Amino acid sequence: MTRFGFYGRVSTEDQQDPASSKAWQVSRSQALIAPHGGVIVAEFFDIGQSRSLPWKRRPEASRLLDALKDPHRGFDALVIGEPHRAFYGNQFGLTFPVLTHYGVSLWVPEVGGRVDPGSEAHDIVMSLFGGLSKGERMRIKTRVRSAMASQAAIEGRFLGGRPPYGYRLADAGPHPNPGKAAVGQRLHRLEVDPVAAPVVGRIFAEYVAGAGIGAIAEALNADGIPSPSGHDPARNRHRQSANGAWGKSAVRAIIGNPKYTGRMTWNRQRRNETLLDVEDVAAGYETRMAWNDRSEWVWSAEQTHEAIIAPDTFAAAERQRALQAHRQAVVTPKRRHVYALSSLLTCGSCGRRMTGQFTHGTRYYRCRFASEYAGATGRHAKVVTVRENVIVPALDKWLVSVFDPDHIEETVKAMAAAQEIDDAAAARAESARRKIADCDDRLRKYRAALEAGADPLIVAGWMREVEGERAVAERQLGQSVPAEPMTAEEIRALIGGVQQALEKLANAGPEMKAALYKGLGVTLTYDPETGRTLVESRPCAQDRVGGGT
């Protein structure tokens, strides 16, 4: 019997189901190795990781590479059910020599079994799959961008996202794609928000008159006008902690948004893929948003929604921005610093996420709420700062202690109890279940009507509408309605995987620590008055969540 490790990957950007994707990849792998007496004893499966990321930057692939170094790893070969998902570009050429070095053979269906290190044909085939994978990603990207540009320019379609401050979303009918319409997806358009629209007009008027964006923000805060996140917190959950205060960035974004003229625009920003390290191309790329030149913007041919400001007012604001713009400085490439607590640490005074800063060889986290949100600071210090090396060692020690064998039973009980006290989540789940039951009952009645001789076309329309409502209810808490609370045995199995990961925590770099903390559902709140940090961890197992504090 040959013991195999399995590696697979799934991207969730296009609504793929991780469980189904893993199932068919494992099934394909088992069909390949079963005739040779192979059995899978270890699984490594990355969820939501782009294929363009190098293996060292994918959590499960990185764990696999670490396992290769262990002579007691438990498997002698690696099987990959879908090479397109595993290798991108030149990744096969960078990974296969590592497997060969540690005596681990690679099996893939495309060569009918084991990849022969000495076979030129096998090397060409596997390298070809990496190129095809890269080409497929680029073709999809090109098709999507071309389609979105056409929809914006010709149809003037609203392409998703949060509506600009001053507008709200209104229904624009069923989605033109029959498949999306069948599951309840609909188009949207922008309509004027009678409360926020006058504020937009005020901002443009004051700016064109010569007021600076900081002065405008201060005046809005002094008048008690809620910021975009304070006005519509449901669509700005990532900024609920701003306490309704206006910042310069919010004013700047409004002044530069041409949608207020009544025409739809697209392609104002782009995703740039830049090398992490020009001296080490194998380290891969990172994606950053950048502003496109105005000449690259895509405008709708006609006005698509009610304008809040006149085109000449927007043009005047554009001229004002050009006059106030400073001479562009020469940008010197900076070294990229990874922060273990990125997006996980919040300020206890204002609830905003603290941002990383690298100074004199030390990683810090800071909150500058006071300087960014004039007039709404309360008791907040001008700048709240805390060193990463003050928090991370204590956090690692706590995590190890929580999941060590001596405290495992206490942790299991705490996680089980945390599931029971989440009343809000339970209420949402129950509401979704009631909705699904109601939809099922209506579908049964419609089927009965069909059998009784009702018009099939009319009933089919009713059924599509109800099926759409049902699909929306299933997505209410994510991709599906949550399962029943995990049992103690399931929690122990989940913790077993956590313990294996924590064994490598002490020697892990900041990037791997960040991935592990996020996987464990770690969130931290720093109290600047006491200097203490509150830590919470809610480890997740696919769609099922257990938690503890």
Q: How confident is the model at residue 279 (pLDDT cuts 50, 70, 90)?
A: low
**Among residues of the chain, what percentage have pLDDT more than 70?**
78
With H, G, I as helix, E, B as strand and everything else as coil, classify residue 243.
coil
pLDDT value for 295: 84
pLDDT attached to residue 239: 58
CA 83 to chain centre: 24
- Rounded-to-10 torsion of CA 493, 498, 503, 506: -170
Residue 327 has pLDDT above 50, yes or no: no
Split at pLDDT 50, 70, 90, the class of 42 is very high
The tens digit of pLDDT for each residue in 212-245 reads 888 898 888 888 888 888 887 776 665 544 456 7
pLDDT of residue 546: 34
**What pLDDT digit, counting tens, does each position of 402-419 carry?**
777 777 777 777 766 665
Q: How many CB atoms lie within 10 A of CB 85?
A: 19
What average pLDDT score do residues 511-530 get? 84
Q: What average pLDDT does range 431-441 have in this prediction?
A: 82
Looking at the predicted structure, is the pLDDT value of residue 277 above 70? no
Q: Give the best-scoring range by mean pLDDT among 186-190, 281-285, 321-325, 351-355.
A: 186-190
How far out from the chain centre does Cα 372 lie?
26
User: Measured between alpha carbons, how far is 428 from 426 in angstroms, rounded to an integer?
Assistant: 5
Res 488: pLDDT = 64
- Tell me, rounded to whole angstroms, the distance of Cα 212 from its chain centroid: 34
Query: Which residue shows structure tokens 């396992």?
Result: 67
**Single-letter code of the amino acid located at 521:** G
Give the integer Cα–Cα distance in Å for 78 and 1: 14
Q: Could you give the domains of the chain? A: 2-139 (3.40.50.1390), 167-264+300-324 (3.90.1750), 335-424+485-549 (no CATH)
Q: What is the pLDDT of residue 309?
A: 93
Cα angle, residue 322 at apex, residues 320 and 323 outer, rounded to 5°: 65
- Per-residue confidence at 103, pLDDT binned at 50, 70, 90? very high
Q: Residues 6 or more apart from 111 whose CB is under 8 A from it?
A: 122, 125, 126
Rounded CA gap, 56 and 95, in Å?
10
The Cα 245–Cα 225 span in angstroms is: 8
141-170 average pLDDT score: 85
- Average pLDDT, integer, range 311-328: 79
**Least confident piece of the model among 334-338, 423-427, 446-450:** 423-427
- The encoded tokens of residue 293 equal 């030149």
CA 319 to chain centre: 36
- How much is the pLDDT for 206? 93
